[in-house]
Structure 1
Amino acid sequence: MVDGNVEEQRSMLSFLAFIGTSIIVIVTPGPDTATTIRNTLLAGRTGGICTAAGIAVGQTIWALATSVGLAALLVASASLFLAIKYLGAAYLIYLGIIALYEALWPSEQGSDIAVENRSHGRVSPWIAFRQGLISDLGNPKMAVFFTSLLPQFAPTGGSTFATLLALGIVFAGMTFVWLAVYAAAIHRVRNALQRPTVRRLVEGVTGVVLIALGLRIATEQR
C-alpha cells in the first residue's frame, strides 16, 4: 500500500511538472500565435478560435505520431525532416507575403464596415482552421518537441501508447484554451485596430513576423 501511494505521488508530481513545462512552451509566442492573431484581426473571435482548433488538431496528430513511433522516424530521417521543414517555412512566408501585400496595397478602400465585411469574407472559419492545422503540421520542430518531451513524463517502465497520447491531448487542449483566450482578448480591441491606417500597420507587422518566423524555421538547425 505504501509503495502504491509513493508511486501515485510520483505520477502526480510528474504530471504537474508536465503541466508546468507545457505552460511555459505554450505561452511562448511562435508561428501558431502569430497565425491566430492575424486571423482574429481578419475574421474576429470565430476566426481566431477556428485557427486555435486547427492548431490543436495538428498537435493531436503529432501526439498520435509520437505514440506510434512515426515522429521518431521523421526526426531520424534527414530528408523527410527537411522536406516538411521547408514546406512549413514556405507556408508561413506565403502568409506573411499576403499580409504585407494587404498592408501596402489594400484590396479595397472604404469605411470600417466595408473593411470588416471584406475581412470576414476573406478568411472563413474553414480557411482559418486549415491555416492553423497546416501551420502546426508544417513545423517539424513539433516532432522533435513531442518525442523529447512526452517520454520524460511517462510512467517509469514504459512509454505506453495510451499515456503518450493522453499527454499529447492534454497539451493540445491547453494550447487551444490559451489561443482561444488570446483570440478573445485580441477581439476586444479589434474594432480599434480595424481603422484603415492601423489595420495596414498591423498587417505589415504581422507579415514581417510571419516571414521572419518562416525564415527562422527554414534556416535553424535541429
Structure 2
Amino acid sequence: MTGLTGLSVPTYLAFCAAAIALILTPGPDTMYVLARGVQGRQSGIRSALGVATGVLFHTMAATLGLAALLRAAPVAYQVVKYAGAVYLVYLGISAIRNREFDPQVETSPDGSFRRGVLVNALNPKVALFFLAFLPGFAGNGPGTTERMALLGATYAVLTAVYLCLVALASRRAGAALESPRVSSRLSWVGGGVMVALGIGLAAE
C-alpha cells in the first residue's frame, strides 16, 4: 500500500519509529529547550518550534543537495562546524551568567525562536545525518524529492511535539523549584552541558 508520494505505509511507519528513537536521544536541541523552558513556557515553546524549523532547513538542504557539499568540501564543513560550536559555547556561557534570558530578549516574539533555529541549523552533523538518513527511506526514482520532503516534514513535526512537551515539563520543574539557589544551579548545569557539547563538536 502506497501513499500519494509512492511511499509505502510500512516504510513510513518504520521511518517514524526510527525518527522517534533519534529525537528522544538528548543533544544540544533538547538541552537548549530545557534551559529556555525553565525560564518560561513561551520561551521554551518558541525555542522548540525554532529547532523544528531548523529541521526543515536541513531537509531542504538534503533535498537540494547542499548537505552533499558539506561532505565533499571539508573546508565548508569545518566553517559550519566551528560556527555551531562557538554558538553553543556562547549560549552556555550566557545561560551561566544569566544574560541569555534578559527581559529585552524575552519580550521579542522571535528571540527564542530565532535562537532555536540557529542551534539546529548550525550543526553540520545534523545536515550530514539527514543526507544519509532520508534517502534510505525515500529511495530513488520518480517522486524522490517529494518523499524526502514528506519525511523531513514528519521529522520536524515529531521534533516540535517532543520538544514542546520538554519545554512544558521543564517549566513545571522550574516553577516547583523557584528558589534563587536552585535556579542558579540549573543555569550552571544547563549552561555547562551546552558548553561541553560545543567543545565536543569543535574537537571532533
Same fold per superposition (TM over 0.5)? yes
Once the two structures are superposed, residues 171-195 of structure 1 have per-residue CA deviations (whole angstroms, 9 ceiling, x without a partner) of 0111001000111111222222331
1:172 aligns with 2:156: yes
| 1:60 lines up with 2:56 in the alignment | yes
Alignment gaps of 5+ in structure 1: 107-117
Q: Out of 15, 28, 45, which is 2:25 matched to? A: 28
Conserved 8 A contact 1:95-1:210: yes
Aligned 8 A contact 1:36 1:179 in 2: yes
Give the Å deviation of 1:158.
Answer: 5.3
Separation in 2, partners of 1:195, 1:86: 36
Quick one: which of 74, 79, 86 aligns to 2:70?
A: 74
Contact 1:89/1:214 (CA < 8 Å) preserved in 2? yes
* Separation in 2, partners of 1:25, 1:139: 15
Q: Distance in 1 between matches of 2:96 and 2:72?
A: 36
Q: Partners of 2:141 and 2:105 in 1: how far apart?
A: 51
- Read off the aligned partner of 2:29 and give its amino acid letter: D
Q: Quick one: percent identity of the two aligned structures?
A: 38
User: Which segments of 5 or more consecutive residues in structure 2 lack a partner in the other structure?
Assistant: none
CA distance 1:41–1:121, shift in 2 (3 Å)? farther
Q: 1:25 to 1:88 in 2, by over 3 A?
A: same
- Return the letter of the residue paired with 1:35: Y
- The count of corresponding residues between Structure 1 and Structure 2 is 200
Q: Secondary structure at the match of 1:189?
A: helix
Distance 1:204 1:217 in 2: 20
Query: What's the CA shift for 1:100?
Result: 2.0
Moved more, 8-17 or 33-42: 8-17
The answer (yes or no) to whether the contact 1:32–1:132 under 8 Å persists in 2 is yes
**Aligned partner letter, 1:40:** G
Q: TM-score, normalised by structure 2?
A: 0.91
CA deviation digits over 1:6-40, x for unaligned, max 9? x6798221111111110011011100011101111
**CA distance 1:120–1:188, shift in 2 (3 Å):** farther
1:123-158 CA distance string (max 9 Å, x none): 344211111011011100111110000001014535
